[in-house]
Structures are given as C-alpha cells and as structure tokens.
Structure 1
Amino acid sequence: MDMTVDAWRDPRRPLWPLALVVPALPFAALALAVAAGRPWAWWLTPLVVFGVIPAVDLLIGDDARNPPEDAVAALQRSPYYRWITFLYLPAQYAALIMGCWIWRDWLAHGGVDPIGAAGLILTVGIVNGVAINTAHELGHKRESVERWLSKIALAPTGYGHFFVEHNRGHHVRVATPEDPASSRLGESFWRFWPRTVAGGLRSAWRLEANRLRIRGRSPWTVRNDVLNAWAMTGVLGVALVAAFGWAVVPMLVLQAVVGFTLLEAVNYLEHYGLRRQRTGTGRYEKVDPRHSWNSDRLVTNVFLFQLQRHSDHHANPLRRYQVLRSFDESPQLPAGYATMVVLALAPPLWRRVMDHRVLAHYGGDAGRANTG
C-alpha cells in the first residue's frame, strides 16, 4: 500500500518519550526507599529493566513495520526526536548526583547497607550504561553539538574512547575476527569482556593517534578526541568529589564498571558468531543486514532508540533512530536486548539458545561463522 508523507504518521511518536523512564527510575526508587524505609527499594531499577521490561516485551511482541521511504526525510529533520535524546542527559546527570548524595548520606548516618549499596550502584550504573546507547545515537551524527553531547553522556562511565573506537573502528571491522567488539561463536561473555574492553581502548588510541599524526600533530593534544573525552570524566569526578567528598569514589568507580559492562554485554549479543566473508580480492564483503542480530520487540526498541534494528544502523550509520528499518534477511534474536543481556551472563544458557541459530544462519557450516 502506497503512503504519502501527508497520509503517514509515526505510530510510535507518543511512545518515544518512554526512553526517559530509565533515568527517572532512580527517583522512583528514592521515593520507595523513603516510604518503605527498606534498602531493597534500591533494586527497583534493575527489577524494571531486567524483569518488567522483558515481561512486557514478551506480552506486546514484535513490531516490524518500517516508515515509508517518502516519509524518511521529514522524520530525519523533525526536532522532536532529537530533543528526546537530548533530554536523557540532564536526567542522567541528575540521577548520578542523587546517587552521590544518597551515598554520602548513608556514610554520614551509620554506614552503607550492603543490599542498598549494591542496588544503588546497579541503579546508577544502569542509567549511565543506557546513556552510552544515547551517546551512540548522538555520536554518529555530523552535527557538532550532538557529537559533544555524546562525549558528555559517556563521561560518567569513563568510556569516552568509545566515541572514537565505535565510529571509526567497530563500524569498519564489524563481524570480523579483527574487531574486538564482535563476539565469536562459542566465546562466553566473560571471555569476551576483557578482550573487548582492552581491545577497544587500544584501538581507539591507535586510531586517534594516527589521525593526528597524518595532520602533523602530536597525539598529546586537546584535539585528541580520546583525551578530551577522558578529560570530561576527570572534570566530572573532581566536581563530584569536591561536592560530596572522597567517600563517593568507590561508588563512582563501581557504577562506571556496571555501566560499561552493560554496553559490552550489548556488543556481545549484537554480532555473536556472525562473520563477513572474504571476496575474490581478499577483502571483506560489504556490511549488510546479515551481519547483525536484530530484534523487533517493540518495548525494548522504544527504550533503546531502536538500537535493536542494528543491521540498518550498520548499513546506514547516519540514519536516525526513528527511521531505522527491519530487514527480513537479518538474523533475529529470540527476545529483546534486556532478556538477551541476562542470558549472556549465563554462558550455558546463552549457548543453548544462540549457537544453533548461528549455525542455522550459515546453513550448518560452522566454518563461515566468526570463530576467531
């Protein structure tokens, strides 16, 4: 059925602000903690993100509809979608500051309860981990404001080098053994984690140092996008310590680890076992929809700015989240990202669910999969 721009309206338009629910959850947890007076209240955010959202995802199911191509240009220009990503950042930073305030208050009144502390660290870490997805959306754009906002969103996790490595490293090497962010068939998340964390950092520095040397500049400059992103983390850390004291440092470090571990869990599931084949010239084939795992689960797509439509993102990285498409040829995950992240943390369950899907994608030929 043909639809013109005038006839077509984005059916998800009223749903996109739900992406701001995640950074609002810590404040709901605070209200619950005050009302109930129990440390378990700080587990509200992990419960909603990894319990409630997957359950609702399962009930509502998939939505594979794509916007008509004649509506894409208008959708791309609309400031409405852009402002939703912008609004995540002040909510993110408000949650971080609130977490520091709670931590200091606990220490000032008799110490930190282990259950509450773990819940608070996970809460702040999840908010900042999901913020890396917001940074991912912003960092791919040509507009200078969005690219700088991407670095600001990355600052609380100390993962500013992701801005360089993801755009100029991962997108070039995706679904190849050379890419530290592409997981291999049979590789557990716990083996993948140190490889991707260290490999991504090394790659980001090498890419940025080479870029600057080509221009006749030393890598030790404020123009270095790795260094200026890390400097933002340093300034933020100094400001928080000045405001709340040295006692917040353990919480800041642990929540950062939670945040970038969440990112790497998503990296793990996005390309697990998938490999681009060599062409007759020895080069890797062009990235296409077969090289990323997709999910059309509606709820998680709304909460993650359609990160789950990952095939179109890799084929068209400048395409904004509201116009990303689902392709029939993309391999499909059996559930949304929130569910799959939990599975990734349990390697036997992950392999039982995913390994046969990788093999089916390659017609039973394990030699075509990414095995390292």
Structure 2
Amino acid sequence: MTDTKNIAVRDRKRYLWVLGTVAPASALFPAQLVHLTGFELFWWIGPILVLVAIPLLDLAVGRDSGNMSEQDYAVLSDDHYYRWCTYLFLPIQFAGLVIAGHLWASPALSLIDKLGLTATLGIVSGIGINTAHELGHRAEHLERRLAKIALAQSGYGHFYVEHNRGHHVRVATPADPASARFGESLWEFLPRSIFGGFRSALALERERLSRKGKRWFSRDNNLLQAWSLTVVLFGSMILVFGYVIVPFLVMQAVIGVGLLETVNYLEHYGLKRARRADGRYERCSARDSWNSDRLVTNVLLFHLQRHSDHHANPGRRYQTLRSAEEAPQLPYGYATMMVLACIPPLWRAVMDHRVLEHYGGDITLVNVRPRA
C-alpha cells in the first residue's frame, strides 16, 4: 500500500516539472497580454512573476521537505522525461529572445515599455544560466553542449568552466569568489564574484589546455566555444534587427548575470567548511549550503534550492535532490531572499543570526569578510 501511495505521489509531481518552462514562456506573451487587457504593465511580466507572484505562491503553497525512497531514486534518475523538461527550456528561451528583439526594434514601443520587455528577457536570461547549470553537470556530451547554448543569451559562457571546476572545488571557503562572506553586502559581493569568477575560469581553462598540450586558440577551448555562441547569437540579432538592438542585448545580459550572482550570494552566505588536521578543508557536505524546500520556486528552478544536496552530491540530477536535516534552512524561497539581499540592513537582520546559530555562536567557524 505504501509503495502504491509513493508511486502515485511521484507521478503527480512528475508533471509539475514542465512548469520550469513558465519563466522563458513569459517572454512569449507580453505583447498578447498587453493587447488583450490594455495593461502595459504586462511588459514587466518577468519581474512581476519572479519578484511578486512566485514569493506569494511560495507562502501559499508551502514547503515540500519529503524525500524519495531508494527505489524511486533509481527510477527518477533514469527517467528521460526530466531531461526533456530542461531541453524544452532552450527553444522557448530563444524564441522569446527573437520575439523581444522584433518588438524592441519596432518604433511602436515607448521607452518604458522597452525597459519592461528588457527586464523580462533579463529574468529569462538569468534563469537560462540555471538551466545551463543543470545541464553542465551532466556527463552526457549532448547536455554539456546544450549548457553552452543556454549560456549564449547572457554572454556568461565562462560559467560553464568556473562553476564545475572552480566553485565546486572551493565552495564555502574564503578562496571561492562565489561564496559570500559574513558581513559582506550584495553590492560588495557582485564585483568580487563576477570578476573573480572570470579570472578563475581563464586560469582553469589555460591550465587544462596546457596539460593536454593544447594552445589557447584551440577548438578544445571551452571558453572560446561558449563565447563564440554568444557572438553568433548577438551577431545574428544585429544582422536581422539592426544596431538598434544592441542596448537591449547588453541590458538583458547584465540583468541575467545580476540575477545569477544574486542567487550565488544567498546560497553560501557566511558558510565555511571545516578544516582537517592537515589544514585542508573537509569534503563539502550538506551543512555548507543554504537550503530551501519552498515547492513553487523549486519547481520553477529545477530544484536549485535544494542546493545543499547538490553540493554534497553534484552528480545527482535535479529531480532526485533531497532535503537534508543537517542543512541550514533559508526562511523563504530564493525569490523572496533576493529582494532581502538588495537591502543590506534587512538582509543582515534576517540572516546574520541564522549563520551564527548554525555554528553554535562560534564566529571563528564562519566565513567572515576580512574587514569585519
């Protein structure tokens, strides 16, 4: 009876994951919604969805902290349906970009409407990096190639290298630019993470190519592969719509990168891995990442909020990630926490005491900003 119940619950949840395409689909419909309703506010549907609707739905729907059985884990890992949910994101993502490019190039839109459309596409661009994050962790060559394609819209192709070979190695240590430090505001963190991650990706790829006896300008250079996709994409958009499209392409990419780095900020704020007797850091565990089991955001972001299990077991596919009891818990979902992060005093009031409580009040165990 229990097995039958578990299978029924698993099957109901199975169809929720296609909702991960809601975010890119939001870029397809603003013009139609404005036309049908007369409300020009729908040009801003991306920010409205992510910063207003999703936080409210998270509060209304609540948490899903249940974990699957070992039998379900094996079934879910091999179920290709979940892979197709991530694959489907890409054509919707780029269809939205082309439609938005056409609308931006049209003189019919006012400046404020164009800014709303750009913000909406920026949200899609940032969530596209999250889809690339899921695909880039996989061993299959197809999914790795798709990860680079998903990063083309944001121009953040070096994330493919830095996240897997840099961030996952140094996470929750002072050496990781993408791990926010206790007392560090979002606005201090953003330049440190953006430029630090870029420098790290250059060094990591240069080292990898050197070990293989390859030159920098090589077909095997993952950075050049990823960046060339952005050049092709942006070049094609400019060729079709003209140079008038350049501000749109730049601004949506900046918003996408900002969204991704804001998520980085809240995922490891103040957390630090313990050191072993030999001075090295212990293997990353569920204690070293903030977790959230808010159901709605987890569905829309392919379980990104179960970040603790992701770092402890990076080989697990998103649908199999678990909620760990030892993981520190965010009070709200990512969407709400991003709003708090933009207001440093409010962020510190909500998070600083949680960091200290996680380490039993011992500040020496915390990843502290050097100047603090």
Corresponding residue for residue 304 of structure 2: 307
Match of 2:129 among 109, 128, 132: 132
Corresponding residue for residue 288 of structure 1: 285
CA distance in 2, matches of 1:37, 1:222: 50
* 1:6 Cα deviation after fit: 8.7
CA distance in 1, matches of 2:312, 2:335: 23
Corresponding residue for residue 169 of structure 2: 172
Q: Given that residues 136 and 144 in structure 2 are in contact (C-alpha distance below 8 angstroms), is that contact kept between their aligned partners in structure 1?
A: yes
CA distance in 2, matches of 1:345, 1:213: 41
CA distance in 2, matches of 1:59, 1:95: 29
Corresponding residue for residue 216 of structure 2: 219
- Aligned-pair identity (%): 55
Q: Which amino acid is 2:156 matched to?
A: Y
Corresponding residue for residue 262 of structure 1: 259
CA distance in 2, matches of 1:40, 1:2: 48
Q: Which amino acid is 1:94 matched to?
A: A
Q: Does 1:338 align with 2:339?
A: no
Corresponding residue for residue 57 of structure 1: 58
CA distance in 1, matches of 2:198, 2:291: 26
| SS of aligned partner of 2:29 | helix
Q: Which amino acid is 1:270 matched to?
A: E
Q: Which amino acid is 2:27 matched to?
A: P
CA distance in 1, matches of 2:316, 2:244: 43
Q: Does 1:91 align with 2:88?
A: no
Q: Given that residues 188 and 347 in structure 1 are in contact (C-alpha distance below 8 angstroms), is that contact kept between their aligned partners in structure 2?
A: yes
The verdict on how the C-alpha distance between 1:71 and 1:41 changes in structure 2, with shifts beyond 3 A counting, is closer
Corresponding residue for residue 74 of structure 1: 75
Q: Does 1:120 align with 2:121?
A: no
Q: How does 1:29-44 map to 2 (within 5 A)?
A: 29-37=30-38, 39-44=40-45
Q: Given that residues 24 and 92 in structure 2 are in contact (C-alpha distance below 8 angstroms), is that contact kept between their aligned partners in structure 1?
A: yes
Q: Which amino acid is 1:117 matched to?
A: K
Corresponding residue for residue 366 of structure 1: 363
TM-score, scaled to structure 2:
0.96
RMSD value over aligned CA atoms?
A: 1.6
Q: Which amino acid is 1:247 matched to?
A: V
Q: Given that residues 294 and 310 in structure 1 are in contact (C-alpha distance below 8 angstroms), is that contact kept between their aligned partners in structure 2?
A: yes
Corresponding residue for residue 188 of structure 1: 185
Map Cα deviations across residues 179-202 of structure 1 (whole Å, 9 max, x no partner). Answer: 000000010001000000000011
CA distance in 2, matches of 1:128, 1:50: 15
Q: Which amino acid is 1:217 matched to?
A: K
Map Cα deviations across residues 173-228 of structure 1 (whole Å, 9 max, x no partner). Answer: 00000000000001000100000000001101100100010111112212110111
* 1:37 Cα deviation after fit: 4.6
* 1:325 Cα deviation after fit: 0.3
CA distance in 2, matches of 1:124, 1:116: 12
| SS of aligned partner of 2:144 | helix
| SS of aligned partner of 1:14 | helix
Q: Given that residues 28 and 95 in structure 2 are in contact (C-alpha distance below 8 angstroms), is that contact kept between their aligned partners in structure 1?
A: no
Q: Does 1:355 align with 2:356?
A: no
User: How many residue pairs are counted as aligned between the two chains?
Assistant: 368
Q: Given that residues 30 and 45 in structure 2 are in contact (C-alpha distance below 8 angstroms), is that contact kept between their aligned partners in structure 1?
A: yes
Q: Mind listing any 5+ residue stretches in structure 1 that lack a counterpart?
A: none
Q: Given that residues 29 and 45 in structure 1 are in contact (C-alpha distance below 8 angstroms), is that contact kept between their aligned partners in structure 2?
A: no
TM-score, scaled to structure 1:
0.96
Q: Given that residues 306 and 321 in structure 1 are in contact (C-alpha distance below 8 angstroms), is that contact kept between their aligned partners in structure 2?
A: yes
| SS of aligned partner of 2:325 | coil
* 1:120 Cα deviation after fit: 0.9
Corresponding residue for residue 46 of structure 2: 45
Q: Given that residues 39 and 113 in structure 1 are in contact (C-alpha distance below 8 angstroms), is that contact kept between their aligned partners in structure 2?
A: no
Map Cα deviations across residues 104-123 of structure 1 (whole Å, 9 max, x no partner). Answer: 013xx4xx523212211110
Q: Which amino acid is 1:181 matched to?
A: A
CA distance in 2, matches of 1:7, 1:248: 49
CA distance in 2, matches of 1:329, 1:3: 27
Map Cα deviations across residues 258-311 of structure 1 (whole Å, 9 max, x no partner). Answer: 001100000000000000121111100110010000000010000000000011
Q: Does 1:318 align with 2:318?
A: no
Q: Mind listing any 5+ residue stretches in structure 2 that lack a counterpart?
A: none
Q: Does 1:272 align with 2:300?
A: no
* 1:2 Cα deviation after fit: 6.7
CA distance in 2, matches of 1:365, 1:117: 49
Match of 2:196 among 185, 196, 199: 199
Corresponding residue for residue 228 of structure 1: 225
* 1:3 Cα deviation after fit: 4.0
Corresponding residue for residue 20 of structure 1: 21
* 1:26 Cα deviation after fit: 2.1
CA distance in 1, matches of 2:324, 2:139: 25
Q: Which amino acid is 1:104 matched to?
A: A
Q: Given that residues 3 and 68 in structure 1 are in contact (C-alpha distance below 8 angstroms), is that contact kept between their aligned partners in structure 2?
A: no
